Amino acid sequence: MSAQFAQYVLSGLTVGAIYALVALGFSIIYNASHVINFAQGEFVMIGGMATVSLVAIGWPLPFAIAAAVLAAAAIGFALEKFAVEPARGASVVTLIIITIGASILLRGLATLVWDKNIHPLKSFSGDVPIQIGGATLLPQSLWVMGITLAIVLLLTWFFGRTLLGKALLATSHNRLAAQLVGINVRHVLLASFGLSAALGAVAGILVAPITFTSWDVGVMLGLKGFAAAILGGLGSGPGAVLGGIALGVIEAMGAGYISSAYKDVIAFVIILAVLFFLPSGLLGKRSTDRV
C-alpha cells in the first residue's frame, strides 16, 4: 500500500514539475504586461521539435538544446515586436486574443517546417528506472525536477538582485510609475517575452523524452500549465511551482484512488474550490481596490 502511495507521489511530481515549468512562463509575461500568453504552449513545442530535428541531423545534444532555446527566445522576441507591440494601446483582452492567433500561426508553421508526426527524444541519462521504496522513477524525471528547481532559484535571484529583474517587477506593480522613474517599459516587455519563450523551450526539451513531442504537444501542456499558474496565483513564481506540483499530485492521486476516468474532473473541481476561497490563487498577490 505504501509503495503504491509512493508511486502516485512520484508520478504526480514528474507530471507536476512539467506543469510548473510551463506555468512559470505564463507568470513572467503576466507580470510584465497582465497578458496571458496563450502561445506559451507553442514555445514548449518549438523547444522540443527544434531539438529533435537538430539531433536528427547530427548535432550533439547540448548544442541542439542551446540552439533550440535561443531559437525559441528569438521567436518570443519576434512575437512581442511584431504582434504585441504594434497593438500596445489596445486592451489586455485584445492582446490575449493576439496571442491565441499567434499560437494557431505557430502550430501551422510547425507542420510546414517540420511534420505532423510524433517524435521521440533520447533520455539525457538512460532509461533505467530508479527504485525508491518500492516505487520507480525515471532519471529523466530527476532532470525535470532538478532543472525546475534551478530555474526557480535563478528567477528568484534575477527578480531580486538584478536591475532588469527589478525593472520587470516594478513594471508589474505599476506600469505608469515605472515609466516615470525611467524604466523603458517596452524593453521590459520584450525581455519578458524572450525569457518566457526560452523557459517554455526548456520545458519542451526536458519533457520530450517522457511525453514525446509533436506539432500539437503545446495545446494540452499549455492548458495544464495555465491551470497550474491560476491555481498557484498568476504572477507568482513559487505559486506557479506549487500550483504545478499540486495539480500533478492531485491528478495522480485521483487516478489512483478514485477513478482514472474522472482524473481531470477531480483536478479541476479542486482548482475551482481553491479559487472560490482564494480568488487570487494559493500564493497570488491579494489585490485590493481603493474605494
Partner 1 sequence: MLLRSLLAAVVAFWLGIAQAQAPIKIGAFLAVTGPAASLGDPEQKTLELYVEKLNAAGGVLGRKLQLVSYDSAGDAEKARTFVRRLIEQDKVDLIVGGTTTGETMAVVQLVEQAGMPFISLAGAVVVIEPVKKWVFKTPHTDRMACERIFLDMRSRRIERIALISGSGGFDKSMRGQCLNVAATYGVKVIADETYGGGDTDMTAQLTKIKNTAGIQAVLNAGFGQGPAIVTKNYKQLAISAPLYQSHGVASKEFIKLAGDAAEGVRLPAAAVLAAEQLPADDKQRAVSVNYKREYETRYKQDISTFGGHAYDGLMIAVEAIKRARSADKSKVRDAIEATKGFVGTGGVVNMSPTDHMGLDLTFFRMFEVKKGNWVPVQ
Binding site for partner 1 (CB under 8 A): 4, 7-8, 10-12, 14-15, 18, 111, 116-118, 120, 127, 129, 136, 138, 207, 210-212, 214, 216, 219-221, 223-224, 251-253, 255-256, 260-261, 263-264
Determine contact, residues 283/277, Cβ cutoff 8 Å.
Answer: no
In this complex, which beta carbon is closest to partner 1, that of residue 166 or of residue 263? 263
| Buried b / exposed e along 244-267 (16+ C-beta atoms within 10 A) | bbbbbbbbbbbbbeeeeeebeebb
**Of 210 and 270, which CB lies nearer to partner 1 in the complex structure?**
210
Which CB atom, from 12 or from 284, has the smaller least distance to partner 1? 12
Q: How far is the CB of 241 from partner 1 (least distance, A)?
A: 17
Retrieve residue 111's grid coordinates: 507542420
| Beta carbon of residue 12, minimum distance to partner 1 (angstroms, whole number) | 8
Name the residue among 195, 194, 173, 175 with its Cα closest to residue 183: 175
**Cβ at position 248, least distance to partner 1 in Å:** 8
Q: Identify any residues that bridge with 136 across adjacent strands, giving them in sequence order.
A: 131
Residue with Cβ nearer partner 1 (11 or 192): 11
Name the amino acid, one letter, at 34. H
Taking alpha carbons only, the member of 231, 279, 277 closest to residue 251 is 231
Residues 227 and 225: their CA atoms lie apart, in Å, by: 5
Tell me whether residue 15 or residue 183 sits nearer to partner 1 (CB atom).
15
Reading the block at residue 210, the C-alpha cell is: 517522457
| CA separation for the pair 265, 13 (Å, rounded) | 19
Q: State in angstroms the smallest separation of the CB of 73 from partner 1.
A: 24
Q: In the chain, which residue ranges form alpha helices assigned H by DSSP?
A: 2-33, 40-56, 61-79, 92-113, 139-161, 163-173, 175-180, 185-211, 217-232, 237-253, 263-277
Identify the bridge partners of residue 135 per DSSP, sorted by sequence position: 132
Nearer to partner 1, 12 or 200 (CB): 12
Q: How far is the CB of 34 from partner 1 (least distance, A)?
A: 27
Nearest-approach distance from CB 279 to partner 1, in angstroms: 27
**Smallest separation, CB 209 to partner 1 (Å):** 9
Cα–Cα dist 178/184, whole Å: 8
Residue nearer to partner 1 on the CB measure, 188 or 228: 228
Query: Which CB atom, from 111 or from 156, has the smaller least distance to partner 1?
Result: 111
In whole angstroms, the minimum distance from the beta carbon of 14 to partner 1 comes to 6
The single-letter DSSP state of residue 274 is H
